[in-house]
Amino acid sequence: MSAPTTHDDGTTPAQTATTRPEVAIARRSGRWIDHWDPEDETFWNDGGKKIANRNLWISIFAEFLGFAVWGMWSIVVPQLGAAGFTYTNDQLFWLISAPALVGATLRIPYTFAVPVFGGRNWTVVSALLLLIPTTALVVAVQRPETPFGVMVVVAALAGFGGGNFASSMANISFFYPEREKGRALGMNAAGGNLGSAAVQFAVPIVITVGAGVALERAGLMMIPFILLAALLAWRFMDNLAEAKADPRSFAAATRQKHTWIISFLYVGTFGSFIGYAGAFPLLLKNEFPEVGLSIAFMGALVGSVTRPLGGILADRVGGARITIWSYAAMALGAVGAVVALGSHSFALFFGSFMFLFVATGIGNGSVYRMIPAVFQVEAARSTAGAGDDVVRSARLAATKAAAGCIGIAGSVGAFGGFLIPRGFAASTTATGSIVPALWVFVAVYAVMAAVCWTVYERRSSVMGAARV
Quickly state the pLDDT bin for 3 (edges 50, 70, 90).
Answer: low
The rounded mean pLDDT for the chain is: 88
Q: In which element (H, E) is residue 240 found?
A: strand 239-240
Phi/psi for 434 (5° steps) reads: -90, -5
Question: Given this model, what pLDDT does residue 4 score?
Answer: 55
Does residue 212 sit in helix, strand or coil? coil
- pLDDT of residue 239 exceeding 50, the answer is yes
Task: Give me the mean pLDDT over the 55-66 stretch.
Answer: 96
Question: Given this model, what pLDDT does residue 407 score?
Answer: 84
Task: Give me the mean pLDDT over the 423-437 stretch.
Answer: 96
What span, in angstroms and rounded, lies between the C-alpha atoms of 266 and 416? 9
Percent of the chain scored above 90 by pLDDT? 61
Question: Given this model, what pLDDT does residue 123 score?
Answer: 95
Question: Given this model, what pLDDT does residue 21 score?
Answer: 44
Q: How does DSSP classify residue 176?
A: S
Quickly state the pLDDT bin for 5 (edges 50, 70, 90).
Answer: low
| One-letter amino acid for residue 330 of the chain | M
Instruction: Tell me which of 71-80, 223-232, 384-393 is least confident.
Output: 384-393
What span, in angstroms and rounded, lies between the C-alpha atoms of 149 and 128? 25
Does residue 6 sit in helix, strand or coil? strand
pLDDT, one tens digit per residue, over 136-195 is 999 999 999 999 999 999 999 999 999 998 888 888 888 988 778 777 888 888 888 899
Neighbour tally for 367: CB within 10 Å: 28
Phi/psi for 32 (5° steps) reads: -95, 130
**Residue with more model confidence, 406 or 444:** 444
Quickly state the pLDDT bin for 463 (edges 50, 70, 90).
Answer: confident
- pLDDT of residue 13 exceeding 60, the answer is no
**How much is the pTM?**
0.87
Q: How does DSSP classify residue 83?
A: G
Phi/psi for 224 (5° steps) reads: -60, -40
CATH of the domain spanning 246-468: 1.20.1250.20
Q: Would you say the CATH fold of 246-468 matches that of 1-245?
A: yes
Domain residue spans in the chain? 1-245, 246-468
**Residue with more model confidence, 401 or 428:** 428
Q: In which element (H, E) is residue 200 found?
A: helix 178-206
Cβ contact 200:297 at 8 Å: yes
CATH of the domain spanning 1-245: 1.20.1250.20
Task: Look at residues 99, 400, 355, 61 and name the one whose alpha carbon lies nearest to residue 237.
Answer: 61
pLDDT, one tens digit per residue, over 68-116 is 999 999 999 999 999 999 999 999 999 999 999 999 999 989 988 888 8
Cβ contact 268:445 at 8 Å: yes
**Residue with more model confidence, 369 or 63:** 63
Task: Give me the mean pLDDT over the 336-342 stretch.
Answer: 97
Instruction: Tell me which of 70-84, 347-361, 398-412 is least confident.
Output: 398-412
Neighbour tally for 344: CB within 10 Å: 10
